[in-house]
Amino acid sequence: MKPKVLVTTTTFPRWNNDSRPRFVYDLCRHLTGNFDIIVLAPHHHGAKYFEIMEGVKVYRFPYFYPKYQALCWGGGILENMRKSWLARIQVPFLFLSELYHVHKLIKREKIELIHAHWLVPQGLICIVYKKLYGIPLIVTAHAGDIFPLKSRPLRSAARFVLDSCDACTVNSSATKNAVLDIMDISKKLTVIPMGVDLKKVSRGVDIKRQYGINKVILTVGRLAEKKGIKYLISTMPMVLKAHPDTRLVIVGEGPEKEPLMKLSKELGVGENVIFTGGIPNEKLPSFYGSSDVFVLPSIVDSRGDTEGLGVVLLEAMAAGCPAIASDVGGIPDIIENDKNGFLVQQKSPEQLAEKIIILLENKKLREKFKENGLKTVKEKFDWGVIAERFHETYKEAMTNYEYQYGFSGTHRGAMYDIEMRKQKAKKMLAVLDDYYPGKLKTLNVLDIGCSTGIISNFLSKRFGEIMGIDIDEGAIGYAKENYHSDNLNFDIQSAMDLKFPDNSFDVIICAHVYEHVPDASRLLSEIHRVLKPGGVCYFAAGNRLKVIEAHYNLPLLSVIPKPLAHLYLRLLNRGGLYYETHYTVWSLRDIVSQFEIIDYTRKVVENPDKYHLTEMVKQGSFKQKIVLGGLKAAYWLCPTYIWLLRKRKDD
C-alpha cells in the first residue's frame, strides 16, 4: 500500500487538453508510482468536481456560485484581486471552502503527507491541519507567492508558513534567495525545479505551413505584465527590417492581450504578429518544434513579481528550439549565456532584436543551442529526475516526522533504559520459547522499531540471525556503535516500506510500534508480506481504552479525540502534539485479520514467573486474581495485549 499524499494547488488543468499550466499535474503523475496522489484544486465553471486523471485523484472545490468564480483563474489570485472587486469578495469564501475540503479529504483519504503548492493560501490553510493532526507538511514556493510580497501582513503570513512547515522547496535559486530574505530556513530549504516530460516532446503540425509563414519567432505564456511581451513586440520593426518574412507568434491568454494587440498595430507590425490565444498543452510541442527562435522576455513587474523558473523555456529547449530569455528570476538557472541560449537584459528591445537576428542568420549557432539545450533539459529538468528528487523529499519528510520515531521528546530517555528493555526482551523470549521450544537458534528475526538495539542485542544470544530496523538515525547509530555480533545487524528503514523480499523472516518483533506509525494497517500488511508462511509476529499492542496512557502517564489521553489530546498536552506543558494513535481491541483485530491470533495475554498473567511479569504481578497475589477476573469480565479494557500473529501456511 502506497503512502497517501494530499496536494493542494490553485493552478491545475481544468479538463483534459486544457491550456492552463500543468506542471503541478505533471509532477503528480510522475509520483504515482510511489505514492497515492490526491489533488485538491479550486473548481472552474464547466470542470468536473471529481475525476481520476492518469492515476491522480482530482477533487475540485467550489468557493462561489460556479458561473461567477473569478479568483483563481485567468491572471492568478493576486492579479485578479487587483483588477476585480468580484475576485476580492471571493477571497474569504476561497479560504473557508478550502479549509473545509482539506479537512474532509484528510479524513476520507487518510492522508499521511500534505504538499501545498504556493505559500498563500495553500500553505497557510494546511498549517492548520499539520498542527491539528500532526501530518507532515511540505510547501513549494513558485515565485508568484514570494516576489510580490511587500506588505507586512502578507510577509508575516509567509514567515509563519515557512517557520511551521517540515520542508520547503523552491523552483529556482532566485526564489530561494527571496524566501531566505523573508526567513532563514536554510536547513529545510531545497531547490527543486519543475520539469519537462521528454517522452511527450514530439513534432506535430508544422505551424509554418499552418499559418503560411517562413520564419517564426515564438513566445508562450500568460499575457501578463511580468512576461514582458510588449518588449518583444517592440523588437519587430528592427527584426522585420533585416528579415521581412518573419512572424512573431504569441501563444496564450491574459489581461494584457488587448493592449498588446493595440501596440502591435501602433508599431505597424500588426500583420506580422499572430495572437493564437490559448493552445492545449498537447499541441505546444508542434509550435516549439517548428519555430526558429523561442523568446521569453520576462521582466520584474511593477509589483516586484518575476519569472520563478520559466517552464515554457524548458519545453522549447526540449523540443529543439533555440532560446533567448531575459536575465531575471530563475531563468539563469536554465540558460548559460552563449552556451545553450542567449541571456539578455530585461526591458531592452534593442538587445533582444540583436540576438534574434543573430540566431535567424546563424544556423550553426542555432544547432549548438539546440544540442546543448536538450542536454541541459535531459540532465537537470527531465520529469524523471525531478520526480525522484521530490520522492526523496517526501520520504525524508515522512521519515523525519516525530510521530514515526516511536518516542516523542518527553520519553526518549526510555530508549536508553537498559534494564527496562532487558525485562521486555525476557518476556518476548519466554513467549517465543514457549511457542518454539528448543528451536530459537534456528530462527531468523526482524525487530521492527528496534530503537537503540538493546532488545535486539539481548535476543541475538538466543536466536539465529537478528535484523534490527528503525527510522531514527541517532538510535541506529547508537546500536551499531555499542552492539557487535556476527548474527546481529542494524539498518535505517521505515516499517511502512520494508526493503526485504517476501517471506524473509521466521519471527518478527513488533512491540508497541503500531501506535507510532501513520498507517497501522499498512504496517501489518508489510509484516505479513515479509513473514514466512507459518511464521509468527510477536505483537504487543496498547489499548486505546486504557485508563492511563503509558507514554505520558496521563489519564484518558489515548481515549479522547486527537484535537483534545493535543490541547491536553499543551495545557499541562507536556508537549505540542499527541502523535500516538491507539486502537481498541476490535479495531486491532480488524488490522490483523490476515493472521491467526494466538493470544498470550491471559497466559502471561497466569504465570508471571515464567513470563517475567513479576515486577507487575506476583504469583498467587490478590492483584493477580483481580487482573485475571478483569480479563475474563472485560477483556476489551485490558491495557496491553500480547498476541502471536501467525501467517497462514497457504498465504
Q: What are the tens digits of pLDDT across the range 223-243?
A: 989 999 999 999 999 999 999
Residues 92, 57: one domain? Answer: yes
- Residue at 475 is within a domain: yes
Three-class DSSP category at 537? strand
Report the 3 state secondary structure along 423-456. Answer: HHHHHHHHHHHHHCCCCHHHCEEEEECCCCCHHH
Instruction: List, in sequence order, every beta strand (DSSP E) within 106-209.
Output: 113-117, 137-141, 167-170, 189-191
DSSP 8-state assignment for residue 588: H
Task: Grade residue 409 by pLDDT with cuts at 50, 70 and 90.
Answer: very low
| Per-residue model confidence (pLDDT) at position 74 | 66
Q: Which three cell numbers stand for residue 369?
A: 543551442
Instruction: Give 610-644 pLDDT, tens digit per residue.
Output: 999 888 889 999 998 999 999 999 999 999 999 99
Instruction: List, in sequence order, every beta strand (DSSP E) within 252-347.
Output: 273-277, 293-296, 323-326, 342-344
Q: Which three cell numbers stand for residue 276?
A: 493564437
595 pairs with which residues across the strands?
647
CA 25 centroid distance within chain: 13
- Residue at 393 is within a domain: no
- Residue at 266 is within a domain: yes
Task: Grade residue 201 by pLDDT with cuts at 50, 70 and 90.
Answer: low
> Is pLDDT at 408 greater than 80 in this prediction?
no
Domain end: 137, 159, 191, which one?
A: 191
- Residue at 557 is within a domain: no
Task: Grade residue 305 by pLDDT with cuts at 50, 70 and 90.
Answer: confident
- Residue at 605 is within a domain: yes
Residues 233, 336: one domain? Answer: yes
Task: Grade residue 401 by pLDDT with cuts at 50, 70 and 90.
Answer: low
Order across the sheet with 465-470: list the strands.
488-492, 465-470, 444-448, 505-511, 531-542, 640-647, 595-599
Residue among 445, 459, 231 at smallest CA distance from 347: 231
Are the CB atoms for 571 and 600 separated by under 8 Å?
no
Question: Which residues form the domain of 139?
Answer: 4-191
Instruction: Give 482-494 pLDDT, tens digit per residue.
Output: 999 999 999 999 9
| Per-residue model confidence (pLDDT) at position 400 | 64
Residues 118, 252: one domain? Answer: no
Residues 87, 231: one domain? Answer: no
**How many other CB atoms are found less than 10 A from the CB of residue 231?**
22
Average pLDDT over residues 439-450: 96
Instruction: Give 533-569 pLDDT, tens digit per residue.
Output: 999 999 999 999 999 998 888 999 999 998 888 888 8
| CATH number of the domain within which 621 lies | 3.40.50.150
Return the half-sphere exposure (C-beta side, CA atoms, 13 A cut-off) of residue 185.
26
467 pairs with which residues across the strands?
446, 489
Of 305-309, 314-318, 490-494, 535-539, which one has max mean pLDDT?
535-539
| Per-residue model confidence (pLDDT) at position 413 | 52
Which helix H or strand E contains 218, and what residues bound it?
strand 215-220
DSSP 8-state assignment for residue 495: T
d(CA 370, CA 317): 7
| Per-residue model confidence (pLDDT) at position 1 | 65
Which helix H or strand E contains 31, and what residues bound it?
helix 23-31
| Per-residue model confidence (pLDDT) at position 406 | 37
Pairing type for strands 167-170 and 137-141 reads: parallel
Q: What's the Cα-to-Cα distance from 282 to each of 46, 64, 278, 286, 603, rounded to whole Å?
A: 20, 30, 12, 9, 66
Percent of the chain with pLDDT over 70: 95
| Per-residue model confidence (pLDDT) at position 566 | 83
- Residue at 275 is within a domain: yes
| Per-residue model confidence (pLDDT) at position 365 | 96
| Per-residue model confidence (pLDDT) at position 371 | 96
| Per-residue model confidence (pLDDT) at position 404 | 41
Give the chain's domain count.
3
Three-class DSSP category at 142? coil
Residues 351, 243: one domain? Answer: yes
Residues 238, 338: one domain? Answer: yes
Residues shown for the chain? 651
Domain end: 191, 215, 230, which one?
A: 191
Q: Which three cell numbers stand for residue 65?
A: 456560485
- Residue at 575 is within a domain: no
Rg (CA), the chain: 30
Task: Grade residue 416 by pLDDT with cuts at 50, 70 and 90.
Answer: low
pTM given for the model = 0.68
Instruction: Give CA torsion, residues 531, 534, 538, 542, to 10 deg.
Output: 90
Domain end: 132, 161, 191, which one?
A: 191
Report which residue type is found at 5: V
| Per-residue model confidence (pLDDT) at position 228 | 96
| Per-residue model confidence (pLDDT) at position 407 | 38
| Per-residue model confidence (pLDDT) at position 70 | 81
Q: What's the Cα-to-Cα distance from 101 to each of 107, 119, 126, 171, 457, rounded to whole Å?
A: 10, 18, 11, 27, 48
d(CA 627, CA 622): 9
Instruction: Give 81-108 pLDDT, tens digit per residue.
Output: 877 888 889 999 999 999 999 999 998 9
Residues 36, 184: one domain? Answer: yes
| CATH number of the domain within which 280 lies | 3.40.50.2000
Are the CB atoms for 125 and 99 separated by under 8 Å?
yes
Residue among 432, 437, 464 at smallest CA distance from 612: 432
> Is pLDDT at 605 greater than 50 in this prediction?
yes
Residue among 231, 566, 518 at smallest CA distance from 402: 518
Return the half-sphere exposure (C-beta side, CA atoms, 13 A cut-off) of residue 537.
30
- Mean pLDDT over all residues of the chain? 90
> Is pLDDT at 460 greater than 70 in this prediction?
yes
Percent of the chain with pLDDT over 90: 71
Residues 125, 40: one domain? Answer: yes
Task: Grade residue 410 by pLDDT with cuts at 50, 70 and 90.
Answer: very low
| Per-residue model confidence (pLDDT) at position 425 | 93
Residues 374, 485: one domain? Answer: no
Residues 466, 541: one domain? Answer: yes
Residues 252, 176: one domain? Answer: no
Instruction: Give 148-172 pLDDT, tens digit per residue.
Output: 877 888 899 999 999 999 999 999 9
Residue among 503, 499, 620, 471 at smallest CA distance from 136: 471
Average pLDDT over residues 477-504: 94
- Residue at 402 is within a domain: no
Are the CB atoms for 235 and 356 separated by under 8 Å?
yes
Task: Grade residue 72 by pLDDT with cuts at 50, 70 and 90.
Answer: confident
**How many other CB atoms are found less than 10 A from the CB of residue 31?**
24
540 pairs with which residues across the strands?
511, 642
Is the CA virtual torsion 144, 168, 105, 571 positive or negative? negative
Residues 174, 239: one domain? Answer: no
